[in-house]
Amino acid sequence: MNFPVCNRKGKTPRRPPKKPSNNQKDPVGVYCRVRPLGAEDEECCIEVISNTTIQLHAPDGLKANRNGEFKETQYSFKKVFGIKTTQRELFADVAKPLVEDLIHCKNGLLFTYGVTGSGKTYTMTGSPGQGGLLPRSLDMIFNSIGPYQAKRYVFKPDDKNGMEVQNQVDALLDRQKRDSQTSVPKTPTTRRIDPEFADMISPEEACKAGEVDEDSSYSVFVSYIEIYNNYIYDLLEETPFDPIKPKPPQSKILREDQNHNMYVAGCTEVEVKSTEEAFEVFWRGQKKRRIANTQLNRESSRSHSVFIIKLAQAPLDADGDNVLQDKSQVNVSQLCLVDLAGSERTSRTRAEGNRLREAGNINQSLMTLRTCIEVLRENQMCGTNKMVPYRDSKVTHLFKNYFDGEGKVRMVVCVNPKADDYEETLLVMRFAEMTQEVEVARPVDRPICGFAAGRRQRNQAFKDELTHRLEERGGPVDGESPTVLNQLLQSFHPLPPCEISGPNDDVTLPRLIDALEKRHKIRKLMVEEYNKTGKITLLRAQDSNLLSKENFIQEQRGRLGEKDKMIQNQKNEIDRLEKKSKMLEYKIDILQKTTNIYEEDKRSLQHELESREQRLQREMSEKRRMETRMQGIVTDAKLKWEKECERRVNAKQLEMQNKLWVKDEKLKQLKAIVTEGKTENRQPQRPSREKDKVPGEVFKTRGGGQAVQFTDIETLKQENPVAASRKRRSSETGPDGEPMERNWTNVETRCSVAVEMRAGSNLGPGYQHHGYPKRRKP
């Protein structure tokens, strides 16, 4: 921990605070207690989700107002106590360890924090039948140290936060003085218990600390203060009450003792000898507080109350009979139980005027507490050395040593789950979260004094024995092992009558002297015997002590072995996990490499794909071009061939027509010959056409061939000889008459065209001669 150094200007530098001799630290233990809802139908904003975590839900109204800005938040604590937690369970977890520490000379601070109505006072003080942490702590203390308490006034507080040891006589005188003062209440066993707190702890719930040092003597002192508006008031101060003009209470100041611990100067410390007595003192303070608050119109929820339990302990002397008269051997430890003021902001309480200002101060002190915690945390976490503003408020100043000295600090955060408190509860949670991160130096064990252990027991045994024997004086002794002591006790005769009968009485005095001498001798023998037995018991006790220590060491060794085993197991586990982690790393590496390779492949394949696509594109366009070209060629060729075919067909037709015509002529001639035989007079009439005449002009071509130019179109009509003869028979018309013409068949239409035929041209020899005869008019 870093110790803040206060460098206040204009002041002599203070000595650095006493550093704790150990460097072990524990975080502030923060617990959370959720109280039940006031009414069952009230909206709840807290849910306990595990024994270390709670969850806050924004209430419906708030969610709607802030557009869902508030979400569910979780907060973790050392432990969470739900609504069913009993006061006893809470005590066992939270305060019991602090009481154990107190009895073992270690300081503790326990405070409750939360908004008003969250259950701080219920947790700290409790109610009848439901005693809180305070009465239970007191009870545990007295259950533990009860038989080892010093007589009243053996320990006496000096006025500087220290403790003195008085000798028996002074203590006795003080006791007598106290008894003579009627105002001071006597021991509680004889008194009636106030019904207001009668039932704070039931006897069956009694708790006890383990390992209480029996060879020490103890005394408990309590003080009770209230801090209101940054003023400290002593609630146990006995002031004569003037009903006519009541005096306002006087505030106290804080001082630092020689060990740099803070204390309230002049504060009443009441020595108490039992739980009831202690609690009665507390209740007295409580009543005073209530009265003051009413008289001065204060709001009790705005004050901090601090109940301090101081335990003084000192070793018994070598005889084990009295407290060692050595102030340096007195150890004082203290447990502070603090019920803080409500943490809510001033606006919530609707205070006005003075009250508002005062409330502001109360808030200020809680704010200072928060700031101190914040700075402490920052110093610890970041290694900074910022000054912690303990002095800014009385509360933080008083507890300064717990944070920069040593001790155990615990806080119970009280929360009311009702929705109305949601926003304030959020702030409380944040503070709690921060507080958990602060660490406090662990208190060290006090050195034990050099006397042999078991002194009290030995002394007690001797005393018991002596009383017993003295009671049985003159009676029968234990026959089996008659000791010198027993024999001597037996020979203890009553004193002879010592009344001198007259001036001449020579018997009484010598007889008395004789008896007294005998007694003196017996006493001497007894002292010797006592010393002997004392030594033997001492040896025995030391033996048993040694044995128990050995057992303890053995036990610890066993535990150490277990721990070693555990550590070994953990190490193995760590090794295994490390190996696994390495293996996984290796695998990841391989996978990374494989991925890289695949990616490389992918890239190259993509590249290839792209180039192929480009090629394909090119080829496609080439193909299209070719297609269009081919189409052109094909159409050309088709056209050419079509023309050619036409030409050839035409030529063939012409040829065929010519042949037909020739045959026709021949037939006509044949017919003429036949008819000539029948009618000698009749001359055959040739058509008015010369035999070899081509019906057009024939001319030479440039290629050396011949071409015919037809000049007209004629229709060749062929007469069907059969039909002709039939017709001629049926009609009497002449051969040139109109009806005759109907026997002619329209053979061919010839058209006159001019075609240039070139001999040897690429159209072949068959195309040299073309022409269509002019259609002959019927």
Q: How far is the CB of 346 from Mg ion (least distance, A)?
A: 17
Phi, psi (5° rounding) for residue 759?
A: -70, 135
- Distance (Å, whole) CA 251 – CA 307: 16
| Binds 107: which of Mg ion, ligand ADP, none (CB < 5-8 Å by kind) | none
> In whole angstroms, how close is the CB of 123 to Mg ion at the nearest point?
9
Number of residues lying near Mg ion (CB under 5 A): 2
- 150, two tokens: 């010093």
Residue 127 binds which entry of ligand ADP, Mg ion, none, with Cβ cut-offs from 5 to 8 Å by kind? ligand ADP
Annotated ligand binding at 698? The verdict is: no
Written as six digits, the tokens of 497 are 């009558």
Q: Does 120 bind ligand ADP (CB under 6 A)?
A: yes
Q: Which of 17, 117, 135, 417 binds ligand ADP (CB under 6 A)?
A: 117
Choose one: 104-112, 115-123, 329-337, 733-741; the region binding Mg ion (CB under 5 A).
115-123
Pairing of strands 254-256, 251-252: unpaired
The residue of the chain with the least Cβ separation from ligand ADP equals 119
114 is in an annotated binding site: yes
**How is residue 143 written in tokens?**
């259950």
Task: Work out which of 85, 112, 121, 286 binds Mg ion, going by CB under 5 A.
Answer: 121
Which 8-state DSSP code applies to residue 104?
T
- List of residues 6+ apart from 46 with CB closer than 8 A: 34, 54, 55, 56, 57, 415, 417, 425
The closest of 62, 84, 90, 109 to 426, measured between CA atoms, is: 62
Least distance (Å) from ligand ADP to the CB of residue 317? 46
773 binds, among ligand ADP, Mg ion, none (CB under 5 to 8 A by kind): none
459 sits near ligand ADP (criterion: CB under 6 A): no
* Interface region with ligand ADP, contact rule CB under 6 A, candidates 24-32, 115-123, 370-378, 681-689: 115-123
When asked if residue 135 is in the footprint of ligand ADP (CB under 6 A), the reply is no
Output 110 or 314, the one with its CB closest to Mg ion. 110
Q: Distance from first CA to last CA of the chain, Å, rounded?
A: 143
A 10 A CB-CB count for 82 gives: 16
Give the C-alpha distances (Å, rounded to integers) separating 351 from 121, 230, 343, 345, 361: 21, 17, 14, 11, 13
34-73 residues near ligand ADP, rule: CB under 6 A:
35-36
Interface mask (CB under 6 A) for ligand ADP, residues 383-422, using x and -?
-------------------------------x--------
Q: Which is nearer to Mg ion, 35 or 774 (CB)?
A: 35
CA distances for 44 relative to 31, 60, 424, angstroms: 20, 10, 14
Our finding on whether 121 is near ligand ADP (CB under 6 A) is yes
State the binding partner of 118 from ligand ADP, Mg ion, none, CB within 5 to 8 A by kind. Answer: ligand ADP
The dihedral region occupied by 192, where left means phi > 0, alpha psi between -120 and 50, and beta the remainder, is beta
Q: Dihedral, CA atoms, 176, 177, 179, 184, nearest 10 degrees?
A: -150
State which of residues 31, 111, 122, 767 lies at the interface with ligand ADP (CB under 6 A): 122
**Is 768 within 8 Å of 759 (Cβ atoms)?**
yes
Structural element, H or E, at residue 109: strand 108-113
Alpha carbon distance 364, 360 (integer Å): 6
Q: What gap in Å lies between CA 143 and CA 210, rounded to an integer?
A: 11
DSSP state of 477: -
Is residue 121 annotated as involved in ligand binding? Answer: yes
CB of 124 to Mg ion, least distance (A): 8
Q: Which is nearer to Mg ion, 120 or 455 (CB)?
A: 120
Distance between CA atoms of 335 and 310, rounded to whole angstroms? Answer: 6
Rank residues 110 and 272 by Cβ distance to ligand ADP and give the closer one: 110
Q: Is 116 one of the annotated binding-site residues? A: yes
Residues 147 to 186 in contact with Mg ion, rule: CB under 5 A = none
CB of 342 to Mg ion, least distance (A): 7
Q: Is 285 in the site for ligand ADP (CB under 6 A)?
A: no
Alpha-carbon span 632 to 628, nearest angstrom: 6
Binding range to ligand ADP, per CB under 6 A, among 3-11, 72-80, 112-120, 455-463: 112-120
| Residue closest to Mg ion (Cβ) | 121
Cβ proximity to ligand ADP: between 302 and 770 the closer is 302
The answer to whether the annotation marks 731 as part of a ligand binding site is no
Name residue 770's amino acid.
H
373 binds, among Mg ion, ligand ADP, none (CB under 5 to 8 A by kind): none
- In the Cβ-directed half-sphere of 136, how many Cα atoms lie within 13 Å? 30
- Segment interacting with ligand ADP, rule: CB under 6 A, options 66-74, 116-124, 690-698, 721-729: 116-124
Least CB distance from residue 343 to ligand ADP, whole Å? 9
Q: Which is nearer to ligand ADP, 342 or 405 (CB)?
A: 342
Least gap, CB of 31 to Mg ion (angstroms):
17
Which residues fall within 8 angstroms of residue 174, CB to CB, at 6 or more apart? Answer: 152, 153, 156, 166
Cα–Cα distance, 203 to 207 (Å, whole number): 9
- The answer to whether 313 and 265 are in contact (CB under 8 A) is no
Q: Which stretches within 392-483 are classed as H helix?
A: 394-398, 400-404, 422-435, 455-471
Q: Is 532 annotated as a binding residue?
A: no
Closest CA to 344 of 418, 403, 394: 418
Stretch that binds ligand ADP, among 118-126, 242-250, 285-293, 429-437 (CB under 6 A): 118-126
How many residues make up the chain in this entry? 778
**116 is a contact residue toward ligand ADP (CB under 6 A):** yes
Q: Does 114 bind ligand ADP (CB under 6 A)?
A: yes
> Shortest gap between Cβ of 299 and Mg ion (angstroms)?
11
Query: Which residue lies nearer to ligand ADP by CB, 115 or 163?
Result: 115
118 binds Mg ion (CB under 5 A): no
Residue 125 Cβ vs ligand ADP, minimum distance, rounded to whole Å: 8
Q: Is 353 annotated as a binding residue?
A: no
Within a 10 A sphere around the Cβ of 204, how many other Cβ atoms?
5
Task: Confirm or deny that 120 is annotated as ligand binding.
Answer: yes
How many residues contact ligand ADP, by CB under 6 A?
14
For residues 327-346, which are near ligand ADP according to CB under 6 A? 342
Tell me whether residue 120 or residue 252 sits nearer to ligand ADP (CB atom).
120
Please name which of 652, 657, 666, 655 lies closest in space to residue 776, comparing C-alpha atoms: 657
Q: How far is the CB of 128 from ligand ADP (least distance, A)?
A: 11
Residue whose tokens read 């009441």: 270
Nearer to Mg ion, 340 or 373 (CB): 340
Which residues lie below 8 Å from residue 651, measured CB to CB, with a gap of 6+?
A: 766, 767, 769, 770
Which segment (121-129, 518-526, 558-566, 668-676) binds ligand ADP by CB under 6 A? 121-129
- Amino acid identity at 696: G
User: Which member of 52, 301, 329, 483 binds ligand ADP (CB under 6 A)?
Assistant: 301
User: CB 316 → ligand ADP: shortest distance, Å?
Assistant: 42
Closest to Mg ion by CB, 35 vs 120, is: 120
**Can you spell out the DSSP letters for 343-371?**
-S-HHHHT--HHHHHHHHHHHHHHHHHHH
Residue in the block written with tokens 């601070």: 109
For 535-551, give the DSSP string. HHHHHHHHHHHHHHHHH
Q: Which residues are near ligand ADP by CB under 6 A?
A: 35-36, 114, 116-122, 127, 301, 342, 414
Write out the residues near Mg ion by the rule CB under 5 A. Answer: 120-121
List, as residue ranges, the binding site: 114-121
Query: Residues marked as binding for ATP?
Result: 114-121
